[in-house]
Structures are given as structure tokens and as C-alpha cells.
Structure 1
Amino acid sequence: MTTSAIPFYDVVQIGYGPVSEIMALSLARQGHKVAIFERWRERYALPRAVCIDHELYRVLSALGMSQQLPAVSHAGPHYKWFNAEWKELLSIDWESESISGGPEVNFVHQPTLEKMFEEVVQARPEVTLNLGWEAVEATQTADYAQLVVRDTESGETRTVRCKYLIGADGANSLVRQAIGSTQEDRGFEADWLVIDVLPNEGVTLDIPPAAQYCNPIRPTTIVPAGIKDGRYFRRWEFMRLPHETAAELEHEHVAWDLLEPWVKRDQATIVRHKVYTFRSLLANTWRKGRMLIAGDAAHVMPPFMGQGMCAGLRDDWNLAWKLDLILKGHADDTLLDTYQPERRPHVSDVIDLSMFLGKIICIPDADKAAERDEAFFSGKVPPPPAFPSLTDGILRRDADGAVQAPAGLLSPHGTVRSGERQGRFDEVVGLGFVLVSRGSAPSLGSSQRAFLDAIGAKRVVVGNIAARGTLIDVDHKYLPYMEQHGIQTMLVRPDFYLYGAVANARDVNGLVDDLAADLKRHGVHVQAEQSEQAPQALAA
């Protein structure tokens, strides 16, 4: 094959799971040419992940799926942890109103969710999908990344090149190996039998909506498993005990024996039963040159917070706006140096939170379980850590270099009204950088206005009183949030996190200048004098 015959793409992705699908969609919507290579010819038909949190529900809506999501998801219930006597140890309110609007967590049937993803992705002409092609070698030069793939049936090999290669290729990632990344093992490891069940038509099961039954005789998880065609799936997970083998747990009669207290054979169908090893692994290097990793290739965690897929989709959303600027020539690839510092600490905290919860239930010893129960009931156990925010990267800092609160917090999302138009903030305002002010517009200098225009930033005012240029805070999301954090004006990044905020309108120009300096420091080229043409080009 001659060099000229080698296909060249903006981005090549290995793997075709949800992380790869959403990465491809995010890039394709911005006009970038993407090729995906997946070794399997048929999609894995069984569910794995069962929920998406409010932040990712907002992301998927922003990517054009707001109308389809309600049909493939349902609000999560209270998530409760019980001891062997069904006394409550811990409760996590998944059905409460979130900062992003809607419940904290929505449950999904992953094959149905992925089918929706696939339909949206395959409608994009920018995406070339190659099923049945296994990635066998990944290399790079200063000018391109190169991937060799092999047809799993014929053995034929092909070579493709790209500006960037993303390994969304799972826990055994070829790309992670190619960039020489080691993994940090946080030490959590437990085998669990996962059983997905579809109750028969008309059957109502007398079970907790979502629970961890922390019984040392058999630690058990009971949670929703999503909806398909109006029917709700359920999931049970049973911890493998020390005297058992994984192989014996995978017999169907064993699955039914374990399910017996909860659901009878004539009440439901087992959709899947398989033993999985829950681990806690975190890659030490997420990028080398033109190669990057995302999703399970970068991190693996216990499932007790339902954050495995969510963490991978956050990787996508963080990368998408940065790659867009680079691929359009508006930034150097040094901007990608912020990917790992922003995502790794965040997902590290999520892993720690998942392990904190996992260690509550993964106790097959009666005496240790009794000690755990006493610690909870006596108040000796601290509450679970708060869900993390960004702590590094493109965030406003003080004179000493420390991140300046409230930078790094996730911004709110709610319904707003402008004149006769009412809708969700992202739909009304649009995506990209947004300068949000409370009550009245700040006085911006000409250079600050030119810079905001050059990066395509929207400038909005939120309030309770209808006035020209003011968005009415219909859901009361923005004003209480800004009051709580002492914010008069906040600068929101394209991935919905706060770059920074000020308490006084007179400090807004300094906030904008800091963002300009930070973006320049990280390789973003801003031509403020071309502001009339630049906003559309730079908008994320």
C-alpha cells in the first residue's frame, strides 16, 4: 500500500461502546471526520451500566437527545443500605432535584440507550464505522498517529492515520499499552454474580426500589436496570463468598436459588447471569503525543455509585471542546495537557467514593459486619465524601496559584424564559463559554468584550423580573445558586464547569482577563480584533 492510499481522519477511535459513541457524536457535530474500529461485528446485547447521573443527562441532551431520553430512562429512587436485620445504615437520595434539573440519577437499560446512541451517531456523515476490525498496532510520529487493524474473519490488514487516536478500548486497552501507561491499583477486588431479570407482564415484585442488603451471609444488591418498550428490568448482584468459585456461581440453577427470596421462577425471565470482578484501577498516563485514552481504558471502579459509564462520558465531554479548538486551528495541542489534570483527580475521587460504599457491603464475616453496624448506629462512621468538582486545569487561581472558589464547581441548569421563548438554559442560550450575571449586566471594557466575542462566549443576565435582555429564572436554579456562592457574575466553561466567578461587578473585567491569559497559556489562539467573524468559529 502506498502512503498516499492510507486514509487520514481527524480522529480515529478504538472501541464502539457508549464512551466511543458519545465521543464520536461530540466531534462529528462540530464537523470533524471520525473513524471507529471495533473488533466485534455485533453489539454486545446485554446490559452492563444501569444509570446516568444528572450531569450526563444534561450532556446527552446538549448533544441532541433531549426528546429521546425520557423514553429510555426513568428517575432513580432512594438508594438505601440495610444491615442483615433490615435496619438502615445509609441513604442516598437519588430522586431529589439536582443542580442540573431533574433527579440526581436516571436508570437506563444499556442496550436500549446504546441503540439510541447508535442511531444518532450513524446519522452523522462525518463518522465512518468499521465493525469486525481488531486494532493490532498503534504508533505515532510528530505529524500523525497510525493504527493497523485486522479483519477478524479474513485476516486482511489495513492502516489508517489520524491527527489524534483515542483508545476507548476497555480495561485491556491497546492504546494504554502503546503510550506506556501503568495503572494504579487502589486495592479493591471482589467477585459478584450479576443477574438481570425481566419480570413477567403484570408481575409486581415486593422488593426495595434500590438497596444494598449488607447481610454477611450473602451481600446483595437490588437495583432497577432500566426500561425497554415500557417494561422495567431489575438487577440483583450477589457477592461471591470465600468458599465459592466463580464457575459454580454461573450455573443458572444457582442464580435461581439466590433469587428465590425475591423473585420466583414463574414470575420472571433471567436475561443475563455472569460473574464480574469489581476492581479499582486508574491509569497513570492518559495521553502521550497524539494518543489518548478514555473510559475503562483510563479507569475502572466498583459499581456501587453507578459511575463507571458516567466517568467515561465525562472524559468525552472534557476532550470534545478542546479537540474542537485544536482541530479547527484555534489552539495548539498543548491544550490537551489539561485533560489528565482535570479528569484524573475527579475520577480518582469518584473511585474513592465507590470504594467507600463498596467496603460497607463487601463484608462476608458476621463479626466484622456487627462492628460495621455498631459504627454506623453510633455515628462513628463519617458521611460519604461529597461528589467531586474540578480541582486543577483551566480554573481561575489566586495570587498564590491556588484554585479560587467557586472555580471548578458544576454550574446549574434549569428552565429560563426570554420574552415569549421558554426552555432549558442550554437550548435558549446555546453551548460554549457563557458569562452569566445576576440582576444586571456588568460594565465590560472594550478589550474584554472583544475577547469574549472572539471565543464565541454568550453573555446573559438572569433575574426574577422581566426586562429586556434578562432571562427569567423559572426553576429558581440560578439566583439561589449564585447567592449561595456569593456570585454576581460567573464564567462557565463549555463543559458546564465554572472557570471562575466574582462577587462584585467591578471585578468582572479581571475575571475575563484571567480567562484570556489562561487560554493563551494553554495554547488557545484568540484573535480579538476579528471578533465579528470569530464567535461562530470558536464556539464549542
Structure 2
Amino acid sequence: MASQNILDVVVVGYGPVGQTLSILLGQRGYQVAVYDRWPSLYPLPRAVFHDHEIRRVFHAMGIGQDVESISQPSATYQWFNADWKTLVEIDWSSESISDGPVGYLFNQPSLEALLDRKAKSLPCVAVHQGWEAIELHERADHCELKLERVTMQDGKVTRSGETQTVKAKYVIGADGANSFVRKSCGMAFEDLGFQEDWLVIDLKPHEGVKLDVPDIGQWCNPERPTTMVPGGPGYRRWEFMRLPHETREDMQRPEKVWELLSPWVDPEQATLVRYALYTFRSLIADNWRKGRVLIAGDAAHQMPPFMGQGMCSGLRDAWNLAWRFDLVLRDVAPPALLDGYTPERRPQVRAVIDASIAMGQVVCTSDPLKAAERDAAYLAGDVPPLPPFPGLTDGLIVRTQNSADGGIAGQLSVHGQVQNHGRTMRYDEAVPTGFQVIGLDVDPQACLSDAALAALDQLGAYTIGVTHDASKVVANRVLYDVSGKYQQFFAQHDAKIVIVRPDYYVFGAARSAAEANDLVGMLIAEIGLDQASAASKSHASAVA
């Protein structure tokens, strides 16, 4: 059967990235259909870590408290040599720029269940499970996607012969490493050279069992490189590298699983949830958009897991795409706005992959002599620390303030506790998600022209002030900076006015209120909005 209705977006793939895309677009009122070949949610754990930035995404989706209930704050990430001497410590429990610790551990099936309930609660989102994409064609004003109903048993597909064709203005492939969408569009994949087999084991310790293991650790033992992490509240994960003399089949025998676990846990202490052998790869697509088709998540990039950024990177893709589609589908911005997706996301993801590879090369050393040299270098303090997490270096940012050169544009913006009407809350509870013009000790609305305010209103932007001076607070307009984080962030970058994008990255900053109109003008020009036509429209950018 064929549908003549043209949807706004069809998403292929219903893992966390496809779920998040569907929710973010559905919450904005767009007609979205999502298809996945699995008839039900994949029941086994994969990802176990999300960071502070992704926590902000969950709160923006309205599920922040629910996700926190299935997560636990991270401890310090430690790397040990074979003799359990500490080589590296990365404090993921420290305070982040986003108000809270750097990272959190969770159980992926629990997260997907939350996302599933949220997606299916939205009237604009139609979820179709048990349908596999088999043909994709781009037309002048839409795409046509042909799908076949399938059943899955033991990972094998059984085809029914029943098909349907759906039409949408855009198709997004969030369909994993073997992406049908990517392959159908001929998007090239670059191999960055990392490839190692690791056995991943998840288990649930029995009630009252306390295991003597590091909370989050890499045991850089050349005899058997090993990872030990929580798998969310009540779960534990081990990962063991396959050594050259071992076969893939040997690594997946149940007796081998318990043999590898035996130094820390035995069958009487825990229930085995699952085990699987994975090949950790480093791959990235050259271009993530071809006409009306885009890719995200593992369809666009794959990385070793040593930074815990695989799923996080995919959710950043979804977060980046959502606000771009919002402007394009509302006809506020031209379709060319989508061209900025690859230049923004690819360099950031490439930097994360490179860092993950570097960490993996340290962890995966199986040569005793090389491991000894590595240990000596780290113990002597001769190894530089990891670089800071990369920001955006291209796309919708003020290029003269590029984060690559130490500027503010492209950095993740600060988030903290604010006070309004005497009540303390998260900043994102006080100010809705969208473009934001934030002033330090000033209400930006008072600094902007009518034309600039009208253009911001067309974007759905908000203007708001923050201050650490109680005498300058104005209810709903200038909020009190409870922790002083905003004061510190603005002072660090010599900024008076900052424009923050809907994905919380900084577009750019002005050093004085007088420069605010110029900054808004740059934003409008970069997006492609006709400021003259916007000037005739009213504005209502106050925070409710």
C-alpha cells in the first residue's frame, strides 16, 4: 500500500538516537513517523554512560527527573597498570559547566523504555516497529521510503512480503552501523584504523553482595586488558579484550565468561544478564547530508567506547538536527540551514573519536615491553593530560570568536541554578529552550532595536538577564545567579551579551550592550532570515 500524505520527517531506526529525534520533532508539532525492523525494543544493555550535556537534553525533553531515577552519578575514572598502580585519573564526579557532575551511569533498556513512552505519548509521532526499510528515493519535493513488514528471531529477519511506501519532506537515518539509509545514498565511510574485539558482559549482583572492584576502571594489564564499570543502578559491566591467540568462538563460551569473571565474581553472587563479543571500530562518514536525506548516530560515526561518548555523540546529532529542522519546516530559514549540520558535527565527533582511539591504544597494549614503557611514562608524569572536550569550530558561530582559537563561540554555554520570584530552580526551568539572548546585569530587551526584537521573535528566541547582584533582579526579566556561574562565565570571556543556540552552544558574544544589535544582525544573516520582513512583526520575548 502507498500513502499519499507527505509527512514532515521519517526517521529510520528506533534506538536512543531515533527515539530522541522523534521526540524533539514531535514536541515541536511536526508530523513524524519512525520505523524500526525490531518488533519491540532491543532488550539488552549497550551504552552505560551519558554526560552532563546529554543530561540537559533529557531535561529539555521533559524526562530529566525520570532519567535521573535510573542513573547514578559517576565516580572518578581510573586507569591502573598490571600491578594496580594508578596511571590516570579523570574525575567524572567533579562539578561540570552544566550544574552537576560530569557523567552518569545508566541501564540502556531502562532509558529506551522511558524514551519509548515519551515518543508514543506525542500525537504527532507514529512509531512503527517490525518494518524494515528496503528502498529509498528522493523526489523534487519529498522522499519516498518503501518498507517491508518483518519478524525477528535470534537476530534473523523473516520477510512477510507485505510492503508500504511512505512520503516525507525529509528522511533521517538513525539506523545504526550497517545503516540502510547511508548505504542507499552512497555516503562514504572513512576508516580511522582502530579495530579490536572485546567481550562485553553485563550482570546483576544478588541482593546484599558487595564486589571488590574499582567503581569505574581500566585495568591496563597486557595479559588481559579489562574494563570495569557500573551498568546503572544495581548492575555491573566487565569488558575483556580478545587476545591474538584466542578465537571469537572461544571468547563466547559460557565457561570462558565465568573464567574471565572469576577474580571478581562467581555464579553464586550474581545473575548473568548477557554477554556478547563486539568489534570496536573507528569510522566516520564523509558527509552526513545528501539532499533531503541525513544520517545520525552510529549511521554517521562509530568509535571505541573508552570515553563513553558513542551514544552521547548520537544524541548531540539529534539535538543539532532538531532546531535546524524546526526553522526549516516553519519556513523561517531556508533548507540551506541543514548544510551546517555536517561542518558542525563532523569535526567535533572526529576529535572525540581521535581521543577515544588514543585512550584505546593505551588500554589495549598487550605487549609486556610496550606496557612497561607506557607505565613508566605515566608514572613519571611524562604524558600530557587529555585535551578539553571539543566544542564547535564551524557552522553557525561567530568565526572571529571561534572556540578553536580560544574564543567563546562554539563552546557549550554555562547552566546553573537561578532564582525567580524568590524560588530557586534550574535555569532551563526558568527559560524555555530556544535561541536565547542573555545579558549580564542587564535586560537585553532594553538594548535591542525593534527590528532586532522582531527578528528574534520570528526565530522563537528569548531575551533574559542574569545577575549576581540582588539589587539588579527584575522578576521574569533579570534572574538571580544563585551559584555565580554566569558571572564567572561572562567575566572569563569578557562578555556582556551572549547569544546561545537552542542546543546550548554559544553563537557569539558582545562586550557591551551597545554591540548587541550587531550580534543579533550577524545571527539573522547567518541563518538566512529576512530581517526586513521580520521587522514588521510584533515581539513577545519575555520569559513567562
In the TM superposition, residue 535 of structure 1 has moved relative to its aligned partner by 6.5
1:321 matched residue in structure 2: 323
How do residues 114-513 of structure 1 correspond to structure 2 at under 5 angstroms? 114-152=112-150, 153-227=159-233, 232-398=234-400, 405-441=407-443, 443-466=447-470, 467-468=473-474, 469-513=477-521
Inter-partner Cα distance in structure 2 for 1:47 and 1:187 = 26
In the TM superposition, residue 527 of structure 1 has moved relative to its aligned partner by 3.5
For the residue of structure 1 that corresponds to 2:306, the secondary structure is coil
Q: Could you tell me whether the CA contact under 8 Å between 2:20 and 2:315 is conserved in 1?
A: yes
Distance verdict in 2 for CA 1:404–1:513, change over 3 Å: farther
How do residues 87-126 of structure 1 correspond to structure 2 at under 5 angstroms? 87-126=85-124
Inter-partner Cα distance in structure 2 for 1:527 and 1:260 = 70
* Residue type of the alignment partner of 1:481: F
In the TM superposition, residue 438 of structure 1 has moved relative to its aligned partner by 1.1
Q: Could you tell me whether the CA contact under 8 Å between 2:451 and 2:532 is conserved in 1?
A: no
1:200-222 Cα shifts (integer Å, max 9, x gaps): 00101111000000000000000
Q: Could you tell me whether the CA contact under 8 Å between 2:10 and 2:32 is conserved in 1?
A: yes
How do residues 11-30 of structure 1 correspond to structure 2 at under 5 angstroms? 11-30=9-28
In the TM superposition, residue 455 of structure 1 has moved relative to its aligned partner by 2.1
For the residue of structure 2 that corresponds to 1:326, the secondary structure is helix
In the TM superposition, residue 434 of structure 1 has moved relative to its aligned partner by 0.8
Distance verdict in 2 for CA 1:426–1:134, change over 3 Å: same
Distance verdict in 2 for CA 1:525–1:316, change over 3 Å: farther
In the TM superposition, residue 154 of structure 1 has moved relative to its aligned partner by 2.2
- What's the % identity of the aligned pairs? 49
* Residue type of the alignment partner of 1:503: R
Inter-partner Cα distance in structure 2 for 1:401 and 1:378 = 32
1:203-242 Cα shifts (integer Å, max 9, x gaps): 0111100000000000000001012xxxx10000000000
Inter-partner Cα distance in structure 2 for 1:26 and 1:315 = 12
How do residues 23-102 of structure 1 correspond to structure 2 at under 5 angstroms? 23-102=21-100
In the TM superposition, residue 403 of structure 1 has moved relative to its aligned partner by 7.5
Q: Could you tell me whether the CA contact under 8 Å between 2:438 and 2:498 is conserved in 1?
A: yes
In the TM superposition, residue 512 of structure 1 has moved relative to its aligned partner by 1.5
Inter-partner Cα distance in structure 1 for 2:349 and 2:461 = 28
Deviates more, 1:284-293 or 1:401-410: 401-410
* Residue type of the alignment partner of 1:19: V
In the TM superposition, residue 457 of structure 1 has moved relative to its aligned partner by 1.9
Q: Could you tell me whether the CA contact under 8 Å between 1:7 and 1:159 is conserved in 2?
A: no
For the residue of structure 1 that corresponds to 2:499, the secondary structure is strand
Distance verdict in 2 for CA 1:357–1:400, change over 3 Å: closer
* Residue type of the alignment partner of 1:66: G
Distance verdict in 2 for CA 1:261–1:277, change over 3 Å: same
In the TM superposition, residue 9 of structure 1 has moved relative to its aligned partner by 1.1
**Structure 2: segments with no counterpart, 5+ residues:** 151-158
Inter-partner Cα distance in structure 1 for 2:530 and 2:410 = 20
* Residue type of the alignment partner of 1:334: A
1:331-379 Cα shifts (integer Å, max 9, x gaps): 2211100000000001001101111111111011101101111121233
* Residue type of the alignment partner of 2:425: G
Q: Could you tell me whether the CA contact under 8 Å between 2:401 and 2:409 is conserved in 1?
A: no
Distance verdict in 2 for CA 1:526–1:164, change over 3 Å: farther
Distance verdict in 2 for CA 1:165–1:116, change over 3 Å: same
* Residue type of the alignment partner of 1:158: Q
For the residue of structure 2 that corresponds to 1:156, the secondary structure is strand
Distance verdict in 2 for CA 1:125–1:445, change over 3 Å: closer
In the TM superposition, residue 533 of structure 1 has moved relative to its aligned partner by 6.4
Distance verdict in 2 for CA 1:320–1:109, change over 3 Å: same
In the TM superposition, residue 316 of structure 1 has moved relative to its aligned partner by 0.4
Distance verdict in 2 for CA 1:143–1:254, change over 3 Å: same
Q: Could you tell me whether the CA contact under 8 Å between 2:403 and 2:409 is conserved in 1?
A: no
Distance verdict in 2 for CA 1:399–1:216, change over 3 Å: closer
Distance verdict in 2 for CA 1:535–1:147, change over 3 Å: farther
Deviates more, 1:37-46 or 1:14-23: 37-46
1:179-213 Cα shifts (integer Å, max 9, x gaps): 21111111000000000010000101111000000
In the TM superposition, residue 445 of structure 1 has moved relative to its aligned partner by 2.9
Q: Could you tell me whether the CA contact under 8 Å between 2:451 and 2:531 is conserved in 1?
A: no
Distance verdict in 2 for CA 1:12–1:81, change over 3 Å: same
Inter-partner Cα distance in structure 2 for 1:400 and 1:78 = 31
Q: Could you tell me whether the CA contact under 8 Å between 1:223 and 1:235 is conserved in 2?
A: yes
**Structure 1: segments with no counterpart, 5+ residues:** none
Q: Could you tell me whether the CA contact under 8 Å between 1:181 and 1:286 is conserved in 2?
A: yes
* Residue type of the alignment partner of 2:486: Y
* Residue type of the alignment partner of 1:471: L
1:150-193 Cα shifts (integer Å, max 9, x gaps): 11152211111100000001111111112211111110000000
Inter-partner Cα distance in structure 1 for 2:248 and 2:37 = 27
Q: Could you tell me whether the CA contact under 8 Å between 1:454 and 1:527 is conserved in 2?
A: no
For the residue of structure 1 that corresponds to 2:235, the secondary structure is strand
For the residue of structure 2 that corresponds to 1:172, the secondary structure is coil
Inter-partner Cα distance in structure 2 for 1:517 and 1:534 = 21
Inter-partner Cα distance in structure 1 for 2:533 and 2:407 = 29
Q: Could you tell me whether the CA contact under 8 Å between 1:75 and 1:107 is conserved in 2?
A: yes
1:532 counterpart = 2:538: yes
In the TM superposition, residue 440 of structure 1 has moved relative to its aligned partner by 2.2
For these two proteins, the number of residue pairs brought into alignment is 529
Deviates more, 1:31-40 or 1:150-159: 150-159
For the residue of structure 2 that corresponds to 1:6, the secondary structure is strand
Deviates more, 1:385-394 or 1:431-440: 431-440
For the residue of structure 2 that corresponds to 1:304, the secondary structure is helix
Inter-partner Cα distance in structure 2 for 1:33 and 1:451 = 26
Q: What's the TM-score once normalised by structure 2's chain length?
A: 0.94
Inter-partner Cα distance in structure 1 for 2:405 and 2:140 = 33
In the TM superposition, residue 528 of structure 1 has moved relative to its aligned partner by 2.0
